């Protein structure tokens, strides 16, 4: 695991959205969170995903958990095409 994350850091697994777009990097994750409207942003599912990303930026070992939180929020919103593998071996 890297010592430091940046916008270009790939997520542990890529996430395909129902609109055909993908979330593949930390920068994509951040941009997606910024694109949420105020109502969604206030939702606990998105707050958890945002908090987990913040933790991962300080401690990169949490990037997998942050990505799983994002995926969970997307499932609850009906925006996820399919579950990605959570197998740490890829």
- Other beta carbons within 10 Å of 62: 18
Residue 25 C-alpha from the chain's centroid = 8
Q: Which residues pair with 22 in a beta bridge?
A: 16
What is residue 72's predicted lDDT score, i.e. its pLDDT? Answer: 95
Nearest Cα to Cα of residue 18 among 78, 68, 86, 83: 78
90 residues of the chain, pLDDT tens digit each: 568 899 999 999 999 999 999 999 999 999 999 999 999 999 999 999 999 999 999 999 999 999 999 999 999 999 999 877 655 544
d(C-alpha 72, C-alpha 34), whole Å: 17
């Amino acid at each position: 695991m890297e010592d430091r994350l940046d916008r270009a850091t790939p997520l542990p697994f890529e996430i395909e959205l129902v609109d055909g777009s993908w979330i593949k990097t930390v920068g994509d994750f951040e941009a997606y969170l910024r694109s949420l409207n105020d109502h969604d942003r206030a939702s606990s599912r998105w707050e958890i995903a945002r908090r987990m990303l913040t933790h991962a930026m300080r401690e990169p070992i949490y990037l997998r958990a942050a990505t799983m939180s994002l995926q969970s929020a997307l499932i609850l919103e009906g925006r996820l095409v399919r579950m990605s593998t959570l197998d740490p071996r890829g």
